Amino acid sequence: MAGKAQTKEFTIRFVPDGKRGHASEGTTLLQASQAAGIELDAVCGGTGKCGRCKVRPEGGFQILDSSLLSEAEVRANVVLACQTTITGDLEVEILPRSRIGKHQILTTSLGELPGPLSPWVRKEFHRLSPPTIGDNVADLERLRRVLEKDTVPMPLEALRDLPDAARSGGWSVTVTLTDLGGLDEITRVEAGSTSNRLLGIAVDIGTTTVVADLVDLVSGKILQTGSDYNRQISRGEDVIARMIHAEEGGADELTALVRETVNSVISTLIRRESEKGGRPVTASDVVAATVAGNTIMTHFFAGLPTRHLRLEPYVPVAFFRARHPKAYELGLATNPSAHVMLLPLRAGYVGGDVVGDVLASGIHRSDALNLLIDVGTNGEIVLAKKDWMVACACSAGPAFEGGEVSCGMRAMEGAIDRMRINDDFTTSYHVLGDGLPSGVCGSGLIDLVAEMYSRGIIDRKARIQGPDTDRIRATDGAFEFVVETKERLAPGATSDLVLTDADLQNLLRTKAAIYGACSTLLRKMGEGLEQVSSIVIAGGFGYHLDIERAIRIGMFPDIPREKYRFIGNGSLGGARIALLSDRGRKEILDIFGRMTYLELSVDNDFYEEFSSSLFIPHTEVSRFPSAGPERTYKEEPI
């Protein structure tokens, strides 16, 4: 009988990284790069739809599809890593825009405690009587005796440390107690007196990034803040791609990736705090945690299936408004007995991050009418006042996150984040990292569209129409605007940086979805913009954009600018409040109970508002009195 044929293995060298890897025949270059620890910007999860993972290979390879590449890129031997398989040894050059670089991650978070400092954990110092032949009760019973609580529970993971802690401390111990709604649980026992050290962690799990605060629960002070990419990015930019990946057998992988990211950030914060000097900080010192995230990220983090979230009627497995799992159940790198509060989810596309935004903003306590907007891959909108609130989500798409736009990229080093078009139609801009540009991130794209409209380069339907300049050119029957020429881009650029007619339509749909959602909520509730007291902008994208230009293109309502308020990472701010305040935790449940969810995907009013918003600034120009075509900006330096 003939033996089974062995799969051939080949060597891959990655430049300029200098890394080497091995992969079997038929493996894609994207898979090989991921295995070598090189994360490419594959926003579609490797399905060949985004055209981001561009590399230049030499050696044995086979191209499956090159339809998303320009003629110039094909001539330059550029391929898509996800659409190219390995057939022999080869060298792969990673192009600058294809790499996930250092990201501009918003760690600033606002939000005041609504009441006194009151975490759900506390410490008590006690002296135990040493055991004798006449008093040889178990260590746990001896501890319960001084606590004067005969039935106080102590989980096994904490009980294992009790004997050594009691004896090494000379029978003087510090007990960490967790309040479980009137019933205490012993979370930890330490030798001696450590009452001045009580730590918690607040985490925001975003689709793109993870941010966390290490918090002193005694003083309420933020000791350390850190962030990182969500490692799920390489499996898809948006939550839909990731849910599909989960259904195709990748669910455990996605849970592992998001937990790895969270734990990596926590470990970094603990290390930094230890390096400050004094007593070293360990994971066991972190005895409470709060986690906020959108509904899909929360499900992945908790290891729950997401398949019913992807399809109508978009039903979560749980809302998480009652039971708080322990850290060990979530694989969290803290004290294993720490209870973890997952901020409650309101609907399939309105999650704990939005609840955190509302808590941090305080709009749920206001007598006036307020509008909250959190823009990311999805846009979440909340219209609220003290007596009621209604929320919705719109599929803003990945355009402002760098997807579906020829020159787009995430807000990382090499991204243009602010831009102006000069009188000669060249561009002036600021680049994150202060180097040469590789692409344009969300805030820069809004500037670019607004500038193109102001300069007469595009019409109200965002179609490139003129004027006569070599910065505008026709390709394949469509027009494109040259943002920057290849010679002025970061090394490795294979073509000019351009914005096409198709790109502009993607951006137009994104801005229309956001404004249409805001208008729909106001319309449903019988309110007008004149009744809105403030518009609260939450999230990293909103924090960095130019509000004047966002209004100029019709993305945000045209109201007095002093009514706009920015709270930064409201999700993280809300998670931190929940960690520190009993009143804040009660308000979270109140927010959950009072928030009505409106599903826009089946709403005719939203369709009408969305369609009317597919113009710059809007079909009804009167809605944007300060953004008329004759108006110009107050120019400020880049």
Whether residues 217 and 329 share a domain: the answer is: yes
Residue 145 has a pLDDT of 93
Whether residues 221 and 301 share a domain: the answer is: yes
Distance CA 306, CA 299 (A): 7
Helix then strand then coil, in percent of the chain rounded to 5, is 35, 25, 40
Distance CA 222, CA 207 (A): 24
Whether 289 maps to a domain, the answer reads yes
User: Per residue in 273-313, pLDDT tens?
Assistant: 999 877 899 999 999 999 999 999 999 999 999 999 999 89
Q: Residue 213 is part of a domain; what is its CATH number? A: 3.30.420.480
Whether residues 134 and 170 share a domain: the answer is: yes
Whether residues 187 and 76 share a domain: the answer is: no
Whether residues 205 and 327 share a domain: the answer is: yes
Residue 111 has a pLDDT of 74
Beta bridge partners of 479: 474
Whether 607 maps to a domain, the answer reads no
End-of-domain residue from the set 274, 307, 342? 342
User: Per residue in 231-284, pLDDT tens?
Assistant: 998 788 788 889 999 999 999 999 999 999 999 999 999 999 999 877 899 999
pLDDT of 437 > 60? The answer is: yes
pLDDT of 354 > 60? The answer is: yes
pLDDT of 152 > 70? The answer is: yes
DSSP 158: H
Residue 466 has a pLDDT of 76
Whether residues 335 and 265 share a domain: the answer is: yes
Whether residues 315 and 220 share a domain: the answer is: yes
Whether residues 139 and 69 share a domain: the answer is: no
- The amino acid occupying position 543 is Y
Spatial neighbors of 184 by CB under 8 A, at least 6 apart, are 147, 149, 152, 177, 178
Closest CA relative to residue 118, chosen from 567, 586, 573: 586
pLDDT of 342 > 80? The answer is: yes
608, 614 contact by CB (below 8 A): no
- 563: pLDDT confidence band, cut at 50, 70 and 90? very high
Whether 59 maps to a domain, the answer reads yes
User: Omega of the bond prior to 96 within 30 degrees of 0, cis?
Assistant: no
Whether 233 maps to a domain, the answer reads yes
End-of-domain residue from the set 191, 226, 245? 191
Residue 325 has a pLDDT of 94
Residue 235 has a pLDDT of 82
Residue 627 has a pLDDT of 78
pLDDT of 160 > 80? The answer is: yes
| Structure tokens given for 319 | 């809302």
List C-alpha distances in Å: 332 to 180, 265, 402, 496: 20, 11, 31, 45
Whether residues 87 and 204 share a domain: the answer is: no
- 637: pLDDT confidence band, cut at 50, 70 and 90? low
Q: Residue 33 is part of a domain; what is its CATH number? A: 3.10.20.30
Distance CA 326, CA 482 (A): 53
Q: Which carries the bigger pLDDT value, residue 5 or residue 424?
A: 424
**For the chain, what is the domain count?**
3
Whether 149 maps to a domain, the answer reads yes
Residue 107 has a pLDDT of 61
Whether 139 maps to a domain, the answer reads yes
Whether 397 maps to a domain, the answer reads no
Q: What is the mean pLDDT of residues 473-479?
A: 85
User: Per residue in 31-51, pLDDT tens?
Assistant: 898 888 887 877 666 778 777
Whether 473 maps to a domain, the answer reads no
Q: What is the mean pLDDT of residues 55-74?
A: 89
Residue 43 has a pLDDT of 66
Residue 597 has a pLDDT of 96
User: Per residue in 366-382, pLDDT tens?
Assistant: 999 999 999 877 789 99
Q: Residue 174 is part of a domain; what is its CATH number? A: 3.10.20.880
Whether residues 162 and 219 share a domain: the answer is: no
pLDDT of 185 > 80? The answer is: yes
Closest CA relative to residue 64, chosen from 40, 95, 87, 45: 87
Residue 238 has a pLDDT of 81
Average pLDDT along the chain:
90
Distance CA 394, CA 634 (A): 31
Domain around 18: 9-98
List C-alpha distances in Å: 298 to 305, 309, 370: 11, 12, 27
Residue 631 has a pLDDT of 46
Query: ∠47-51-53 over CA atoms, to 5°?
Result: 85
Q: Tell me, letter by letter, the H, E, C secondary structure of 69-115.
A: CCHHHHHCCCEEHHHEEEEEEEEEEECHHHECCCECCCCCECCCCCC
User: Per residue in 489-530, pLDDT tens?
Assistant: 988 788 899 999 999 999 999 999 999 999 999 999 999 999
Distance CA 361, CA 345 (A): 18
List C-alpha distances in Å: 13 to 36, 88, 257, 456: 10, 12, 25, 48
224, 204 contact by CB (below 8 A): no
Whether residues 143 and 245 share a domain: the answer is: no
Strand residue runs (E) in 423-484: 427-431, 439-440, 472-475, 478-484
Whether residues 315 and 288 share a domain: the answer is: yes
List C-alpha distances in Å: 365 to 64, 111, 361, 575: 57, 13, 9, 18
- 53: pLDDT confidence band, cut at 50, 70 and 90? confident
End-of-domain residue from the set 309, 342, 375? 342
